[in-house]
Amino acid sequence: MSDYDVNVLQEFVSKSVSFPDVSVQMLPKVNLPTASLMTFGAPLMLALAYIYFLQFLTVILVSEKETHVKEHMLMMGMRESAYW
């Protein structure tokens, strides 16, 4: 270590360290309103929309597998990366 490094190290060691005064406090409780239509309706509508989309996607994929669309397109020269 050089003399400069030793001097800098001694400065940091000799200084006293003080910690900030920190306090912790609970957040106030807010009275929630009673359940509304939006509380139960929004999650229900989102779930139904997702189920419809999943059913639609499954029907499309199964019909493609049944008709062998991908295999026929590959025989015609289409690349597999272009299919997806």
Q: Is 62 within the bounds of a domain?
A: yes
Task: Read off the pLDDT band of 27 (50, 70, 90).
Answer: confident
Q: Is 63 within the bounds of a domain?
A: yes
The predicted model gives 32-36 an average pLDDT of 72
Structure tokens at 5: 């490094």
Task: Name the residue range of residue 76's domain.
Answer: 35-84
Q: What is the pLDDT of residue 40?
A: 78
Q: Is 29 within the bounds of a domain?
A: no
pTM of the complete model: 0.44
Say if CB 74 and CB 80 are below 8 A apart.
yes
Handedness of CA 43, 47, 52, 54 (dihedral sign): positive
Q: Is 49 within the bounds of a domain?
A: yes
Cα–Cα distance for residue pair 34/70, rounded to 1 Å:
53
Q: What is the pLDDT of residue 56?
A: 92
Q: What is the pLDDT of residues 35-82, one digit of tens each?
A: 777 777 888 999 999 999 999 999 998 998 898 888 888 888 888 887
Q: Is 27 within the bounds of a domain?
A: no
